[in-house]
Structure 1
Amino acid sequence: MSATYSNESMASHPYYPPGLALPGFVPNDISVPVLLTAFAGAAGFVVWVTSVLARTMQPRISKANLFTTMWFMLCGCIHFFFEGYFAYHNGSMPARADLFGQLWKEYAKSDRRYLTRDSFTVCMETVTAVAWGPLSFAIGWLVMKNHPLRHPLQIIVSLGQLYGDVLYYAIFFFDESVYGAVYCRPESFYFWTYFVMLNGFWIVVPLLLIAHSTVECTRALRFAQHAAKEVKPK
């Protein structure tokens, strides 16, 4: 809630509320279709490369494991590079004019906290980039190698993603309902597509992965307990 407002900044940027002061703001000069296509193309490339690598290392990899390794490799790239970019440049986001900067400024139409150095957003994205980014790469590799360590790490990272996303949603709605904060433009597209749908992936998929790894860990521990009873001297 540290954002400042200025009459001079009225209508000088597309974010809400219009009177929000964004020192050094530079408008985007890359069109929205190009920005979204670039992001989707990069994500598709990561998924394709991961699929090829996974099938090469493990020709009989299951569909579930293939999806999991693609998910975590994509998460690693988004967390470490894209969210890491924000964590590093959070103090100058309104003035950023490169591709990542313009992508963040486009997303900020649904959540202007990314342009105002909001304390929660900066801290949450920094933890995500530093912790969940590298660990996501590690899990993706462990899945390709069919290594059992992937399950405890999968629970840890997925729970971290889920917790961060729940807090992200909760603080947004709390500030809106209690303090009357306005973070998103009034058009439904920005709220439902950018804010709800794009972030919703990190609610649904982590829940599924936590459930899967919990079942696998329980099964392994049950087998170990049974084996220990079998060899226990009578």
Structure 2
Amino acid sequence: MSTSYSYPNDSMASHPYYPPDLVLPGFVPNEISVPVLLASFAGAASLVIWVTSVLARTIRPGISRADLFTAMWFMLCGCIHLFFEGYFAYHNGSMPARSDLFGQLWKEYAKSDRRYLTRDSFTVCMETVTAVAWGPLSFLIGWFVIKDNPLRHPLQIIVSLGQLYGDVLYYAIFFFDESVYGAVYCRPGSFYFWAYFVMLNGFWIVIPLIHIVRSTVACARALQFVQDATKQRRSK
């Protein structure tokens, strides 16, 4: 349950973010309960995964489990990057006052990282690049996987590496600012740190690493096949 803080200056609204004296101009408290917010996000993600699964099995009935998982992952990434993170990139200057569903979802997540409410330069730039570049490319990769197009592998490496690099920087700057400058971005308590900050972002560490390895192996095998075939032709 969120905790409210009172401020001596009436111009500063009470809010559940840290530090307690953080100024958030125009801040409007969330009206949608946390269970409903989380259920809405999970429901939308489940819908994207289900639609992708149906589409993939219809277009390519013999699709492997690995490719089906990959297609669902990148279609989900496309939606999150382009629409959800794109929302933040576009509205970053007014996030404390946003009261629609996406705005309230971001304000709930910001309990683990208040940079999303303060126009932090790295966060804004990182999310903008993610939305503009990785969002559309994720949709393209998902489609290429469904169609069994070999171009999915180089694109998969590029986007997965971009996701991994952005997430590593996101974690690194958070801990660097905390240890060197004493900055406090997350509310005290283990839930927001481990459930929101660590777990939710951790997916974009583990899964991109898997896809980088798989696509690198696939590209290496293809190049090896071409090299062996070329050598055989020359030896004749």
Q: CA deviation at 1:230?
A: 1.2
Amino acid at match of 2:159: V
- Residue 224 of structure 2 corresponds to 222
Matched, 1:50 2:63: no
What letter corresponds to residue 45 of structure 2 in structure 1?
A
Moved over 2 A (4+): 6-11
Indicate the residue corresponding to 1:3 in structure 2. Answer: none
After superposition, give the CA deviation of every residue in 1:129-175 in whole Å (9 maximum; x if it has no partner).
00000000000000000000000000000000000000000000000
Q: Is contact 1:184–1:190 with CA below 8 Å preserved after alignment?
A: yes
2:81 to 69, 79, 82: 79
TM-score (normalised: structure 2): 0.95
Aligned to 1:135: 137
Structure 1 position 232, deviation (Å):
1.6
Residue 21 (str. 1) matches residue 23 (str. 2): yes
Structure 1 spans left out of the alignment, 5+ residues: 1-5
What value does the CA root-mean-square deviation take over the aligned residues? 1.2
156, 159, 181: which one pairs with 2:158? 156
Are the equivalent residues in 2 in contact too, given 1:7–1:19 (CA < 8 A)? no
Take 1:138 and 1:125, find their aligned partners in 2: how far apart are those partners?
Answer: 19
The question of whether the paired residues in 1 share the 8 Å contact of 2:92 and 2:117 is answered with: yes
Deviation at 1:80, TM superposition (A): 0.1
| Alignment correspondent of 2:43 | 41
Question: Which stretch shows the higher mean deviation, 120-129 or 11-20?
Answer: 11-20
Q: CA deviation at 1:10?
A: 6.9
Hey, what does 1:145 align to over in structure 2?
147
Please list, as runs of the form range in 1=range in 2, the aligned pairs for 1:1-234 lying within 5 A after superposition: 8=9, 12-232=14-234
Asked if the contact 1:11/1:18 (under 8 Å) is kept, the reply is no
C-alpha distance in 1, partners of 2:15/2:170?
Answer: 24
* Count of matched residue pairs: 229
Task: Report the TM-score, using the length of structure 1 for normalisation.
Answer: 0.96
Q: What is the rounded CA distance, in whole Å, between the counterparts of 1:35 and 1:233 in structure 2?
A: 65
The residue that corresponds to 2:3 in the other structure is none
* Equivalent-residue separation in structure 1 for 2:137 and 2:189 (angstroms): 36
Q: Over residues 92-130 of structure 1, what are the superposed CA-to-partner deviations in whole Å (9 max), with x where a residue is unaligned?
A: 000000000000000000000000000000000000000
- Report if aligned partners of 2:30, 2:104 keep a CA contact under 8 Å in 1: yes
Deviation, structure 1 residue 7 = 5.5
Partners of 1:84 and 1:11 in 2: how far apart? Answer: 27
* Separation in structure 2 between the aligned mates of residue 37 and residue 161 of structure 1, nearest angstrom: 25
- In 1, the alpha carbon distance for the partners of 2:234 and 2:51 equals 48
CA contact (8 A) 2:12 2:24 kept: no
In structure 2, distance between residues paired with 1:189 and 1:55: 38
Question: Alignment partner of 1:14: what SS?
Answer: coil
**Following the alignment from structure 2 to structure 1, what is the Cα–Cα distance between the partners of residues 80 and 21?**
31
